[in-house]
Chains A and B, each alone.
Chain A
């Protein structure tokens, strides 16, 4: 993606207290943060709500962002803490656990009735994974991050990210084989 702003450009805008930093942050990180939040919550709707809340927090706490050594890791840590605080809210706890709605849609080349059905089945299978494995799959497959980048973002080693990914794929394969019988 040629139009993705660099981290240095974002840091410069933050240092100058320029509100344009918000647009730059959005362009660079909104997609991966959204996928991460969806992976943590297992819900597309909640992930989008949290993303909005996250950017409001970013605007309020921009002085902390300036001092961050690794901006991406800091943003993911903010997202993680936000998801935890959402999970602790009484209204959230009282809600019944909804079946996972990750918002997966068929790729344009597979946009058929069968494709939609497969996307729904895949979303259910992903919803059954533990959040730490689900987030790795979403970031790797749908945001094309490397294991190195995932490890940096989630504060884990690349090997841990890779092993979570392999475990997740193994479970998905089993689930798909079971559902196809």
Chain B
């Protein structure tokens, strides 16, 4: 740590010298050059006059660009995918389709891999399979509550039909 007296001594040595200012000759030369530059026409730069507006415009553009970027990167990936038109029109694409709920039951992920014609073919195959099931009557289990034998039911009602999605995946 330097003591105050040491620093004062150094300061005194510095004060024993002077740093001369600009000489009169240098002053005259400098001022002449500066006056010459002053008299040259200097148009105020357009950018300077419009600077406040340009700054606001640039700030607004940056905000909009950030918003668009955030939409692309953060919001759009989380938005549910729209069901392709081929899927929503599946019901009408199947000729003679009696089942109105066929279309909505189709998963979009499956429908993207299959076209409407393929779905219709699988639907026809399934219908044909159902037709081949023997229409035998099986006895229903005894109803202990009523004590009556229930009316016999066709086997088709209890036939374990595979979901369509499984058939499509297979």
B79 on the A face (CB < 8 A): no
* Chain B: CB-nearest residue to A64: B48
A-B contacts counted at CB < 8 A amount to: 106
* Chain A: CB-nearest residue to B18: A107
* Chain A: CB-nearest residue to B39: A19
Among A30, A34, A141, point to the contact of B15 (Cβ < 8 A): A141
Whether the pair A173, B19 counts as a contact (CB closer than 8 A) is: no
Whether the pair A23, B30 counts as a contact (CB closer than 8 A) is: no
Among A30, A35, A64, point to the contact of B19 (Cβ < 8 A): A35
B14 on the A face (CB < 8 A): yes
User: How many A residues touch B, CB cutoff 8 Å?
Assistant: 43
Given contacts A62-B38, A166-B2, contact A119 B10 (CB under 8 A): no
Given contacts A118-B13, A118-B16, A173-B7, contact A22 B31 (CB under 8 A): yes
A31 on the B face (CB < 8 A): yes
B34 on the A face (CB < 8 A): yes
Given contacts A19-B35, A55-B31, A63-B48, contact A115 B19 (CB under 8 A): no
Q: Is the interface of B mostly helix, strand, loop or mixed?
A: helix
Give, as a whole number of angstroms, the nearest-CB distance from B28 to chain A.
10
B29 on the A face (CB < 8 A): yes
* Chain B: CB-nearest residue to A57: B37
Whether the pair B34, A166 counts as a contact (CB closer than 8 A) is: no
* Residues of chain B within 8 A of A38, CB atoms compared: 19
B42 on the A face (CB < 8 A): yes
Whether the pair A173, B2 counts as a contact (CB closer than 8 A) is: yes
Contact with B along A123-156 (1 / 0, CB 8 A): 1000000000000011001110000000000000
Chain B interfacial positions (CB closer than 8 Å to A)? 2, 6-7, 9-11, 13-22, 26-27, 29-31, 33-35, 37-40, 42, 44, 48
